[in-house]
Amino acid sequence: MTSIYLDYNATSPLDKEVLEIMLPYLTDNFANAMSFHSFGQNAAKGLEQARSQVAALFNCLPNEVVFTGGGTETNNYVIRGVARSRRHLGNHIITTQIEHPSIIKCCKELESEGFETTFLPVNNVGQIDIDLLEKSITDKTILISVMHANNEVGTIQPISEIGAIAHKKGIYFHTDTAQSVGKLPIDVQKMNIDMLTVAAHKFYGPKGIGALIIREGIEIAPYLLGAGHEGGRRAGTVNVAGAVGLGKACEIAKNKGESIIASVKAKRDRFYKIITDSLSNVSLNGHPLERLPNTLNLSFRGCDGQKLLIATDIAASLGAACHTTSRQPSSVLTAMGVSAEDALGAIRFSFGKFTSDEEIIEAANRIIKAVGDM
């Protein structure tokens, strides 16, 4: 039985076009982009082209793009940086109960330093209550951080509305778009976003590279201290090859994203139809419509999700990828009110542009057979 990969939300394979453009920066153009000599300047040209490609995808300025080591670092940078640079204005942060651990753990760490955090609840499809968010704002609120789309169930939050509320109150607004880049259109101007998180490996780019988009004029305390890389905003020699790969991934998403999204959504929906046409003990976790086009989180009532994946040789996730060693119910599903039994029987299938129609049919049939055998 050949293994089938349906875990694109955990990480995606590197696009061959991305690999090809990266290779010269791993060999000939290897120099430090901060060096003044010709080797360094060649690397710097690639870096700045990448910065422009990233900016074009999000409708921001190139100087608003800061290259980082990935999504977790970027989220840490924002939460800690805003808290410490705006401490004189207040000590209150608003986020949600279903954020990535890199947000939640930073907020909890800051609580030991005298900060306060409001973790907004979500409804049974994973969305926050906008009215409750607005009521939670105090005169000490300095930051609102709400992810664009959840990594486990794919539910999309009303980002533009949240950003508008934050701006009306003079509060910085950050959104973690690690899961939504390349899957949903993102425009920082139209969506009232001050800062957003990018992780290249979630949309066919390389691992170990990400970006913080930070609106011009916003100053936050740097996360890493050292030499003056990235305009003094992120110390450490820049991963030029990684940045070039991220830039190319953004260019592909901008030019081909609409057709890729439509194709992937069709595959996801076909998989879901095959499953639900044959099984009655299946329930969808997440919003039925306002959900990432590639994400399908299903609970198989009366089944153990882990045993299902082992029996079918399908690479998928029982919850967030970083939680798969735990048999505790997903904290996201728990926050949505999913029962412990259904949460333990939940599997997140996430599809990508390299998922074939044959894999869709085969994977669905394997699941149907395995559920019938349990």
Query: Which residue numbers are catalytic?
Result: 322
For 42-67, give the DSSP string: HHHHHHHHHHHHHHHHHT--GGGEEE
Q: How far is 219 from 99, CA to CA, in rounded Å?
A: 24
Contact 277, 250 (CB under 8 A): no
Nearest to 349 by CA among 263, 272, 260, 262: 272
CA distances from 3 to 11, 27, 112, 228, 309 (A): 16, 34, 45, 46, 10
Strands 172-176 and 195-199: parallel
Determine the Cα–Cα distance for residues 341 and 323; give it in Å rounded to an integer. 17
| Structure tokens that stand for 363 in this block | 């994977």
CA atoms of 23 and 27, how far apart (whole Å): 7
Can you tell me the distance from the alpha carbon of 370 to that of 308, in angstroms, rounded to the nearest whole number? 6
Closest CA to 343 of 292, 296, 290, 298: 298
Cα distances (angstroms) measured from residue 294 to each of 124, 266, 272: 20, 9, 11
Number of other residues whose CB lies within 10 A of the CB of residue 38: 9
CA distance 339 to 61: 45
3-state per-residue secondary structure call for 131-196: HHHHHHCCCCEEEEECCCECCCCCEECCHHHHHHHHHHCCCEEEEECCCCECCECCCCCCCCCCEE
Cα(29)–Cα(339) distance, integer angstroms:
54
